[in-house]
């Protein structure tokens, strides 16, 4: 409802500043007394019952609001209270609009309140609310934006107390909705004692109780009668003329006993030159500097409240000094212009700095093949925040990647195993509030994680679980290479891949090359010694060249004074031991002794690298090393990115490619001749 209140006033004030700066504003609410003011600003108002706590009504409103967002080409939907926020959140899911929230209250951890932490950014007006959203709702600190509310200084006439003017009668105001946390009862008990010292004091209570809880006001009236102060207390009801109210006050008191998000009336009093006493709780602590711009008292401490009121009514010089410094602080930190500037800057960041999630939770080689796509995304979105969801075993590939801002680790064989792990990852993704996801993995877990993460725009191939995506692309069996297939997803996601390079990259550091130098020195490798790398491992047994072929190749190279470096995973130690034992030459055993980046540095040191269809093949390509790739059960068109440094050897059989991880005789690999591989190796060494 757009009736009198801090949230409502803030909505109108922000709309005014946005319109002044050439932006279009549409406010959706159930109407209220402030709609006329909005319309006078040339803002548009659409009346919908977005305040009703009804599931049926909410579902209807989601559809209507989504229609409005699409028809009006809305860029940003800014929700400022809980029920409208739920509607807005789901309405934006199938649109290009970004969802932002402002946390105006110290919300309970009720499930309905959690939506206030789901915004791409969560605006808070005070530090206490910021901490609350982080601690109680798990909002990441980087998504919190501190933007205090602002006051239109042109509306308030600054008229501080005049110490030279003796007054016999003072008017004290309390402005705010009548609810228990506002502390009216505590304040009235203090006033009953103040009235004994200042019998002509007058109290104005501005605001009213919620329509569904009129007993709050009736309880206060009963207390007033009990305290015998009816003659000095006036209920003014809800008022929209706050500048006029402030101009008639000698003192404003904010007696809150519960957490307040901000305390807008404090800065309104500061703009008007009215000294302030507030309780030391909630957002008031951010605004009021004790003994400098106002006085702070302990919540519920009647004696301290009495003493503070009496002190300011007696010491008008102190009251003036507090008012003058409060005005200076309001002008500097709490002006409407500053609030609008900060909010508009946030809007611009939302539009210009997209948050993009790339999903690639496959093996090491698959992640290396994703690098050109990640690079293309960065080139097209230079200001975006790009995060990659990657498998724990592949994380080192992207550890030093210059194209990303963040890595999200998915340990599917450990802590994130099974359905619980997928749900946990979905929760992690949701907290990061991405604008779009680009699924380069395209399997069941990847689609589910993006869906659970409530990413508004989820792109990928329309496979068995593709119904969880809302920007689906049909897979075409056209024999495209691995990177070209990924580029199809990128194009469908709106990423410009025109002219994008397909070059693979990996980023070993100086420490990796130093490790390799020391390792080779310990293996008695001369400075100019020619090295040939042989990767004898592979994720499938069928991808491996027969061990005797590797052994024979190694011995042939040794006769040419070429040292062979054997690589494999530590899990393939038995295979490596058999190879080392069978070889007549002195083989350098590097299996399981390097990290991914150290392996890259080692392959860079090799003149030629011989490997099956495996991650080291892509590492060799990334490092610009000449390599020979031996293919059998898999199709090179699907797993090999052409490069002048790499050559494929594959024997065509009727059963190939079969994509079987087990086979009785593995004829496809056995038919690759040792002499053929040796000849190609020597050609590259001599070139």
Q: What single string gives the DSSP state of each residue in 550-603?
A: HHHHHHHHHTTT-EEEEE--GGGHHHHHHHHHH-SS--EE-TTSS-HHHHHHHH
Nearest to 489 by CA among 466, 510, 511: 466
> Helices marked H in 33-126 — which ranges?
35-40, 55-71, 82-91
> Helices marked H in 255-387 — which ranges?
264-272, 284-287, 302-314, 316-333, 336-352, 364-380
Cα 151 to its chain centre, rounded Å, is 30
Residue 534: its H or E element? strand 531-535
pLDDT score of 423 more than 80: yes
Nearest to 435 by CA among 466, 453, 457, 414: 457
Burial 45-61 (b: 16+ CB within 10 A, else e): beebbbbeeeeebbeeb
Which whole number is the average pLDDT over 243-252?
95
pLDDT score of 301 more than 90: yes
pLDDT score of 486 more than 70: yes
Residue appearing with tokens 């020391």 = 518
How confident is the model at residue 569, as a pLDDT? 84
Residue 191: its H or E element? helix 184-197
pTM beyond 0.85: no
As annotated, the residues of the chain forming the CATH 3.40.50.2000 domain(s) are 6-146, 153-333, 359-492, 510-686
Instruction: Return the SS3 of 44.
Output: strand
How confident is the model at residue 15, as a pLDDT? 92
Return the DSSP state at 545: P
CA–CA gap between residue 44 and residue 24 (Å, rounded): 8
How confident is the model at residue 479, as a pLDDT? 67
Instruction: Return the SS3 of 139.
Output: coil
Confidence of residue 179 (pLDDT cuts 50, 70, 90): very high
How confident is the model at residue 465, as a pLDDT? 86
How confident is the model at residue 219, as a pLDDT? 94
Selected residue with higher pLDDT from 193 and 415: 193
556 token code pair: 């042939």
pLDDT score of 668 more than 70: yes
| Residue pLDDT, tens place only, 354-384 | 899 999 998 898 999 999 999 999 999 999 9
583 token code pair: 């070889």
Residues counted in the chain: 687
Determine which of 118-127, 606-615, 658-667 has the lowest per-residue pLDDT on average.
658-667
510-686 architecture in CATH? 3-Layer(aba) Sandwich (3.40)
Confidence of residue 662 (pLDDT cuts 50, 70, 90): confident
How confident is the model at residue 309, as a pLDDT? 97
Q: Mean pLDDT in the chain?
A: 91
pLDDT score of 248 more than 90: yes
What is the CB neighbour count within 10 angstroms for residue 655?
10
Contacts of 278 (CB under 8 A, 6+ apart): 253, 254, 255, 256, 263, 266, 284, 287, 288, 294, 295, 296, 297
Confidence of residue 603 (pLDDT cuts 50, 70, 90): very high
Nearest to 261 by CA among 404, 69, 133, 392: 133
How confident is the model at residue 93, as a pLDDT? 83
Nearest to 265 by CA among 356, 199, 334, 362: 334
How confident is the model at residue 161, as a pLDDT? 94
Determine the CATH number of domain 153-333.
Answer: 3.40.50.2000
CA–CA gap between residue 611 and residue 146 (Å, rounded): 54
Which whole number is the average pLDDT over 553-581?
87
Instruction: Return the SS3 of 26.
Output: strand
CA–CA gap between residue 426 and residue 279 (Å, rounded): 41
CA angle 36, 40, 43 (to 5 degrees): 95
CA–CA gap between residue 658 and residue 331 (Å, rounded): 74
Nearest to 541 by CA among 572, 567, 565: 572
CA–CA gap between residue 231 and residue 200 (Å, rounded): 10
Which whole number is the average pLDDT over 165-194?
93
Query: Is residue 363 classed exposed, middle or buried when 0-12, 13-18 and 19+ CB atoms within 10 A define those classes?
Result: middle
Contacts of 369 (CB under 8 A, 6+ apart): 482, 483, 486, 504, 618, 641
Return the DSSP state at 546: P
Which whole number is the average pLDDT over 193-202?
95
C-beta separation of 1 from 29 below 8 A: yes
In percent, the amount of the chain with pLDDT more than 90 equals: 62
β-strand partners of 438: 358, 459
How confident is the model at residue 285, as a pLDDT? 92
CA–CA gap between residue 409 and residue 412 (Å, rounded): 9
CA–CA gap between residue 141 and residue 230 (Å, rounded): 48
Return the DSSP state at 41: T
pLDDT score of 478 more than 70: no
In percent, the amount of the chain with pLDDT more than 70 equals: 99
CA–CA gap between residue 507 and residue 264 (Å, rounded): 52
C-beta separation of 322 from 163 below 8 A: no
Determine which of 597-601, 622-626, 629-633 has the lowest per-residue pLDDT on average.
629-633
Selected residue with higher pLDDT from 541 and 45: 45
pLDDT score of 327 more than 80: yes
How confident is the model at residue 4, as a pLDDT? 67
359-492 architecture in CATH? 3-Layer(aba) Sandwich (3.40)
Confidence of residue 1 (pLDDT cuts 50, 70, 90): low
CA–CA gap between residue 643 and residue 623 (Å, rounded): 12
CA–CA gap between residue 263 and residue 252 (Å, rounded): 12
Residue 386: its H or E element? strand 385-391
CA dist 70 to 75, 96, 115, 469, Å?
Answer: 9, 8, 22, 19
CA–CA gap between residue 403 and residue 27 (Å, rounded): 38
What is the CB neighbour count within 10 angstroms for residue 224?
22
Confidence of residue 440 (pLDDT cuts 50, 70, 90): very high
C-beta separation of 275 from 291 below 8 A: no
Residue appearing with tokens 């979905």 = 426
Return the DSSP state at 514: H
**Cα-atom radius of gyration of the chain, to the nearest Å?**
35
Residue 131: its H or E element? helix 127-137
| Residue pLDDT, tens place only, 82-125 | 999 999 999 998 788 999 999 988 888 888 899 999 998 999 99
C-beta separation of 448 from 462 below 8 A: no
CA–CA gap between residue 228 and residue 341 (Å, rounded): 49
C-beta separation of 145 from 349 below 8 A: no
Determine the CATH number of domain 6-146.
Answer: 3.40.50.2000
């Amino acid at each position: 409802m757009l009736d009198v209140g801090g949230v409502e006033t803030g909505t109108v004030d922000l709309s005014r500043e946005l319109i002044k700066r050439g932006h279009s504003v549409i406010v959706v609410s159930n109407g209220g007394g402030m709609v006329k003011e909005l319309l006078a600003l040339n803002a548009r108002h659409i009346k919908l019952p977005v305040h009703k706590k009804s599931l049926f009504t909410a579902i209807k409103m989601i559809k209507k609001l989504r229609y409005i967002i699409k028809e009006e080409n809305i860029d940003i939907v800014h929700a400022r209270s809980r029920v409208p926020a739920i509607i807005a959140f789901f309405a934006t899911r199938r649109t290009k609009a970004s969802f932002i929230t402002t946390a105006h209250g110290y919300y309970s951890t009720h499930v309905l309140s959690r939506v206030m932490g789901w915004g791409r950014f969560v605006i808070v007006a005070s530090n206490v609310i910021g901490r609350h959203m982080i601690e109680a709702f798990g909002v990441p600190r980087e998504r919190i934006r501190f933007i205090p509310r602002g006051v239109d200084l042109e509306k308030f006439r600054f008229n501080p107390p005049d110490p030279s003017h003796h007054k016999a009668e003072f008017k004290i105001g309390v402005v705010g909705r009548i609810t228990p946390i506002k502390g009216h009862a505590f304040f009235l008990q203090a006033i009953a004692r103040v009235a004994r010292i200042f019998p002509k004091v007058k109290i104005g209570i501005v605001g009213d109780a919620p329509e569904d809880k009129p007993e709050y006001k009736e309880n206060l009236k009963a207390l007033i009668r009990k305290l015998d102060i009816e003659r000095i207390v006036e209920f003014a009801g809800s008022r929209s003329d706050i500048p006029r109210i402030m101009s008639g006050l000698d003192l404003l008191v904010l007696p809150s006993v519960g957490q307040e998000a901000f305390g807008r009336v404090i800065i309104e009093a500061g703009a008007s030159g009215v000294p302030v006493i507030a309780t030391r709780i909630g957002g008031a602590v951010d605004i009021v500097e004790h003994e400098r711009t106002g006085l702070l008292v302990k919540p519920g401490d009647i004696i301290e409240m009495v003493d503070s009121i009496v002190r300011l009514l007696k010491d008008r010089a102190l009251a003036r000094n507090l008012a003058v410094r409060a005005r200076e602080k309001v002008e500097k930190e709490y002006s409407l212009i500053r609030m609008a500037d900060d909010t508009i800057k946030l809007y611009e960041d939302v539009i210009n700095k997209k948050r993009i999630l790339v999903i690639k939770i496959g093996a090491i080689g698959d992640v290396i093949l994703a690098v050109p796509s990640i690079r293309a995304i960065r080139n097209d979105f230079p200001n975006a925040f790009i995060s990659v969801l990657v498998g724990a075993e592949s994380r080192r590939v992207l550890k030093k990647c210059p194209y990303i801002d963040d890595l999200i680790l998915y340990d599917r064989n450990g802590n994130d195993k099974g359905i619980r792990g997928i749900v946990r990852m979905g929760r992690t993704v949701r907290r990061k509030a991405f604008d779009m996801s680009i699924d380069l993995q395209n399997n069941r877990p990847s689609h589910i994680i993006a869906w659970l993460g409530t990413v508004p725009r989820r792109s990928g191939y329309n496979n068995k679980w593709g119904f969880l995506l809302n920007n689906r692309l049909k897979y075409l069996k056209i024999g495209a290479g691995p990177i070209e297939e990924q580029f199809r997803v990128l194009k469908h996601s709106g990423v410009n891949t025109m002219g994008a390079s397909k070059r693979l990259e990996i980023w070993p550091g100086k420490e990796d090359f130093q490790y390799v130098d020391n390792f080779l020195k310990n293996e008695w490798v001369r400075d100019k010694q020619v090295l040939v790398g042989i990767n004898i491992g592979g994720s499938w047994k069928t991808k491996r060249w027969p061990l005797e072929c590797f052994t024979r190749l190694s011995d042939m190279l040794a006769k040419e004074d070429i040292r062979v470096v054997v690589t494999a995973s530590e899990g393939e130690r038995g295979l490596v031991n058999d190879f080392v034992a069978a070889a007549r030459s002195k083989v350098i055993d590097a299996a399981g002794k390097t990290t991914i980046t150290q392996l890259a540095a080692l392959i860079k040191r090799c003149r030629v690298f011989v490997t099956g269809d495996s991650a080291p093949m892509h590492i060799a390509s990334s490092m610009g090393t000449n390599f020979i790739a031996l293919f059998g059960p898999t199709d090179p068109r699907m797993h090999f990115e052409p490069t002048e440094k790499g050559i494929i050897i594959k024997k065509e059989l009727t059963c190939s490619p079969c994509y079987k991880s087990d086979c009785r005789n593995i004829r496809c690999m056995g038919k690759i001749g040792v002499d053929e591989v040796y000849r190609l190796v020597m050609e590259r060494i001599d070139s």
